[in-house]
Chain A
Amino acid sequence: MLSIQNLKASIEDGTQILKGINLEVRPGEVHAIMGPNGSGKSTLSKVIAGHPAYKVDGGSVELDGKNLLEMEISERANSGLFISTQYPTEIPGVNNVEFLKMALNSKRAYLGLPEINDADFHKLCEEKMELLEMDARYRERGVNEGYSGGEKKRNEILQMAILDPKVSFLDETDSGLDIDALRIVANGINHIMNPEKAVILVTHYQRLLDYIKPTYVHVLRHGKIILSGGPELALKLEEQGYDWIEEK
C-alpha cells in the first residue's frame, strides 16, 4: 500500500540526506526502522509528509497507487497517511479537542462525507481517550501546550486513533515514555492496527518491539536502508549496535 522507490531528498544547502530509499509496505505489516542518530530516519518521515524544509531530488512515494509527492500536505493526510514527528509542536490557544474535530472533519470533507455531529464526535473522543488512559486535561488545554514529552506522544496516538489512517509513520513515539506510558501507547497502537493497515515505527529500543511485533526490521544509515530482516534483527542490533553491518 505504501511504496517508496529510490527516494532521494536534500536540505536547502543542497546536502543530500536521503540517498535512495526503497521500502515496500503491505497491509497488515509493521515495519521497524532503526539506525544511528543522524542517519535520516526523521527526514524520511518529513519528506513523506511534505515538509517544506526538504527538496525531493528523485524517486517516488505512492499510497495505494497515488503519488503522494504531488499532493498538498493536507491531502496526503486525508488520503490516509499519518506522520507523527519526533517533537510534536505546541500550539497554545488552539484547543486540543477543537483541533481533533477540525482534523477529522477535514478528512471527512475530503472523502465527501458530512461533518461528524457533536454527539458522535464526543463519543469517539471519549472512547479513544479512555483507551489511552488520558484525563480531562488533554481536553481543556491547547494542542500539546505545556504537555510533557510523554504526554505529547500519547496525544499523537490519540490523533492517530481518531483520524484512523491507513499507514502511520511514528517517529520515536516510544522515546521519553515511562514503562506505564509505553505500555499504554503500545496497546493503543495495537488496538488501532488491523489487517488493512500498516505501521512504520522508528525506534532505538527493543522494548517497544516487545509490545508491537514487527514484520520487518530495517537499518537506515547514511540515508540508505543498508539491511533488512525479521524481528530477530532488532535483538541483534540491541546487543551489538550498528558497527558490524557492512555498507555496500
Chain B
Amino acid sequence: MDALSRIQQLGMPKRNNELWTFFPVAKIPQQEFLEVRDAPRTATFDASSETDFAALLPLAKNARTMVRNIADGESEMALIKCNDDFGHTIFNIGKNAKVSLEILDNKVLHEIAAERFDLNLAEGAQVEVFFANPANDLPLRFRHFNIQQAAGSSLRFSSIERGNGITRVSIDDFLKAPGATFEIRTLNLLDGTSSSHHRLTIHHEAPETTSTQFARNLLSGHAYASYDGSVIVGENCSKVNSSQLVNTILLSEDSSVSVKPVLKIYHDDVECTHGNTCGELDADQMFYLVSRGIPEKLAKKMLTSAFASELFQALPDSPAQKRLLQVLHEVI
C-alpha cells in the first residue's frame, strides 16, 4: 500500500488519536494539500503498517528518497540537509560501523516541512544522530525516525529544539535483538508561542535491550512542550531495562508542559522507570548566587544553562556533544 492510500485509510490526525494527544492538530493543512504532489521519485515503500501521519507525509508528497549505505566496519561523519519541503533519507549502516549524523535544518520558506529518516543498524553498529536547529520561522515541521536495531547496536539521539514554530519529532525504535540500546537526550528551549512535541514508541522486541529517555524543557513566554513516550516490552523479553525522565523549568506564567509516559510490559523480569518533574528555578540556588553579588539576570542564566548543559555533559566526547554544548553556549 502506498503512503497516500494509507493516510486516506487512517484519516488526518485528530486530537483523539493517541499519537496526537498534545499536538495542535488544527494547524495541519486539510487533506486537499496532499493532492498537490511532485512527480513520483520516492523509493517503493509498503506503508501498510505505518500508523503515524508524520511517517507517511513525506512519502505521500513524493519526496525524493536518498539512500546511503555504510559498509561494515566503516567510520563515517555525515551531514544531512534536505533542500525540499519534504525529504526521505534511508541509512543502511553495516556491522560495527561507527556513524555520526548531523541533521541540518531544512530552510524552506513554506508552511510545512516533513522529513522521514529510516535508520537500519546492523549488528554492533554505533550511531549518533543529532541536531540543534537554529531558530527559524518555519511554521510547522515534522521529523519522523524509523529505527531498526540489530544485536549489540547502539543509537544515541540528541537534539535541541529552539524554533519559533511548531515542531514534532516522532520516533519508532525497534530493538530487535539482545544488546541493542537506544538513548535520547532532547532539550526544548522555547519562547514566544512556539511549541515542540515528541512522540516516541520504543519496541523492546528482544531480551537484554535497553532504552533511556531524557528530556528537558526550558520554557518562556507562551511556549508549550509535550513528551509522549511509550515503551513496549514484548513477551519473552527478559532483562529489559528502560527509563524515562522529563524535567521542566517554567520560566514564565504562561508556558506549559504535558508529559505522558506509557508502559506496556508483557514480561516480569524487566526494569522500567519513569519520572517527571516540573517547577520554577530553584529559589535557594538563586538566592545563593545573588547573595554572592551575581546580578539576578546573570544568576538565572547560570542556572538555566547548568540545567540545559547537564543533559549533554553526560554524552561521550563526540561530535554531537561538541555541537550541542557549543550551541547552548551561544544561545543561553
Residues B310 and A73 in contact, CB atoms below 8 Å apart: no
Tell me, in angstroms, the Cα distance from A51 to B285 when the chains sit together.
12
Tell me, in angstroms, the Cα distance from A76 to B294 when the chains sit together.
11
Among A72, A92, A99, A159, the one with the most B-chain Cβ atoms within 10 Å of its Cβ is: A99
Tell me, in angstroms, the Cα distance from A64 to B283 when the chains sit together.
29
The distance from the CB of B26 to the nearest CB of chain A, in whole angstroms, is 38
The distance from the CB of B35 to the nearest CB of chain A, in whole angstroms, is 50
B299 — which chain A residues lie within 8 A by C-beta?
A: 74
Tell me, in angstroms, the Cα distance from A125 to B125 when the chains sit together.
45
- A88 proximal to B (CB < 8 A): yes
- A107 proximal to B (CB < 8 A): yes
**A91-B306, A93-B306, A93-B307 given as contacts; is B294 within 8 A of A106 (CB)?**
yes
Tell me, in angstroms, the Cα distance from A88 to B283 when the chains sit together.
13
B283 — which chain A residues lie within 8 A by C-beta?
A: 52
B 307-318 to A, binary, CB cutoff 8 A, 1 in contact else 0: 101100100000
Residues B292 and A77 in contact, CB atoms below 8 Å apart: yes
Residues A99 and B310 in contact, CB atoms below 8 Å apart: no
The distance from the CB of B280 to the nearest CB of chain A, in whole angstroms, is 13
The distance from the CB of B98 to the nearest CB of chain A, in whole angstroms, is 29
Among B292, B293, B303, the one with the most A-chain Cβ atoms within 10 Å of its Cβ is: B293
- B287 proximal to A (CB < 8 A): yes
The distance from the CB of A71 to the nearest CB of chain B, in whole angstroms, is 11
Instruction: Give the number of chain A interface residues (Cβ < 8 Å).
Output: 28
Residues B288 and A89 in contact, CB atoms below 8 Å apart: yes
- A63 proximal to B (CB < 8 A): no
> Which A14-52 residues have a C-beta within 8 angstroms of B?
49-52
Residues B306 and A74 in contact, CB atoms below 8 Å apart: no
A107 — which chain B residues lie within 8 A by C-beta?
A: 293
- A110 proximal to B (CB < 8 A): yes
B294 — which chain A residues lie within 8 A by C-beta?
A: 74, 102-103, 106
A185 — which chain B residues lie within 8 A by C-beta?
A: none
Tell me, in angstroms, the Cα distance from A197 to B310 when the chains sit together.
39
Residues B295 and A91 in contact, CB atoms below 8 Å apart: no
Residues B291 and A99 in contact, CB atoms below 8 Å apart: no
> Which B291-332 residues have a C-beta within 8 angstroms of A?
291-296, 298-299, 302-303, 306-307, 309-310, 313
Tell me, in angstroms, the Cα distance from A31 to B294 when the chains sit together.
27
Nearest B-chain residue to A142, judged by Cβ: B306
Given contacts A73-B296, A106-B295, 6 further A-B contacts (CB under 8 A): A50-B291, A74-B299, A89-B287, A99-B302, A103-B289, A106-B292
Q: Can you give 11 contacting A-B residue pairs, CB < 8 Å? A: A51-B287, A72-B290, A74-B290, A74-B294, A76-B291, A89-B287, A93-B309, A93-B313, A106-B298, A107-B293, A142-B306
